[in-house]
Structure 1
Amino acid sequence: MTTEETILNKILILITNHFATPELAFNFFDEDNDQKLTKGEIVKLLKEAEISGFIRGIVSSKLIDGYDKNTDELIDWEEFKLAIAKIKKSDS
């Protein structure tokens, strides 16, 4: 399993074990309720998913680069849903 797969699996485990739906997870980490996750909010999600502090900043940037379709440097709900769907697909 690659490092990327390991990280994505930890995120999926966090979401499925601690939240009834991905939307509840998104809303929990969207601290300012603007319906978008900032890099800082993503870092907190990664911390909760037990991703090493050393790489959280790098991983959060890579997640934004990979899933931010409208290039606003934020992850909105639609982008988050696509990311979760991709994580679930790669897990099966």
Structure 2
Amino acid sequence: MASKKAILNKIQIVLTNHFETPEDAFNFFDKSGDGKLSKSEIVALLKEAEINGFIRGLVSSKLIDGYDKDGDDKIDWKEFKKAISEIAKDVK
């Protein structure tokens, strides 16, 4: 299984290489346009980051568990920014 650092590194690469800003990435993956990333939208981001299919489900659940502060089982823009800043710190 891929290490946490390897997974975070892949996410960081997708966000920095494919998008001008983290907000562009958020808006791209927010397919429903509701201002929040659902589990399926997070799975799409992880798929883009070439995270293995089995691990995508686990990682998306962990991301929601760790960053969903309002308890709606989704990641809003504020929660996403916090996750991105922590990913950037962990990758270094």
TM > 0.5 fold call: yes
Q: Which runs of 5+ in 1 are unaligned?
A: none
Q: Distance in 1 between matches of 2:63 and 2:3?
A: 13
Identical aligned residues as a percent: 66
Moved over 3 A (4+): none
The residue that corresponds to 2:15 in the other structure is 15
TM-aligned CA deviation for residue 3 of structure 1: 1.1
Taking structure 2 as the reference length, what is the TM-score of the superposition? 0.95
Q: Which runs of 5+ in 2 are unaligned?
A: none
Q: Distance in 1 between matches of 2:76 and 2:5?
A: 22
Cα RMSD (Å): 1.0
TM-aligned CA deviation for residue 89 of structure 1: 1.2
Q: How many residues are matched? A: 91
TM-aligned CA deviation for residue 55 of structure 1: 1.2
